[in-house]
């Protein structure tokens, strides 16, 4: 009898390491978009890039490290709430400029 492999509830070590590497690359993207080495304000374009990278990082953390990939509806709701918060922060930032 052949045993059929079942999908694990937990992410594999390889998936976690790959996710970690992508998070590190996105952190560098955050540093570049946020202009961490200069003392200037961000324009709308860089702010949008910064928030998109932040949203992508949140999605990876929610789905891999918090294991919400097993509950896609909850992950989608959380991603929507994070996007809503980022839109509010962007709006307030643009109004304050």
Contacts of 10 (CB under 8 A, 6+ apart): 67
Question: Residues 60, 19: contact at Cβ < 8 Å?
Answer: yes
Give, to the nearest 10 degrees, the angle between helix 72-96 and helix 44-60. 160
Residues in the chain with pLDDT values less than 50 = none
pLDDT at 30: 87
pLDDT at 5: 64
pLDDT at 78: 95
pLDDT at 45: 84
The rounded distance, in Å, linking the Cα atoms of 9 and 5 is 12
pLDDT at 6: 66
Q: What is the pTM of this model?
A: 0.80
Name the strand (E) or helix (H) holding 61: none
């Amino acid at each position: 009898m052949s045993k059929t492999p079942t999908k694990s509830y937990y992410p594999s070590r390889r998936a976690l390491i790959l996710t970690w590497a992508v998070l590190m690359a996105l952190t560098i993207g955050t540093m570049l978009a946020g202009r961490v080495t200069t003392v200037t304000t961000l324009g709308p374009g860089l702010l949008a890039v910064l928030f998109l990278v932040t949203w992508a990082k949140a999605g990876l953390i929610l789905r891999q490290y918090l294991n919400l990939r097993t509950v896609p509806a909850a992950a989608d709701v959380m991603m929507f709430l994070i996007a809503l918060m980022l839109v509010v922060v962007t709006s307030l930032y643009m109004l304050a400029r």
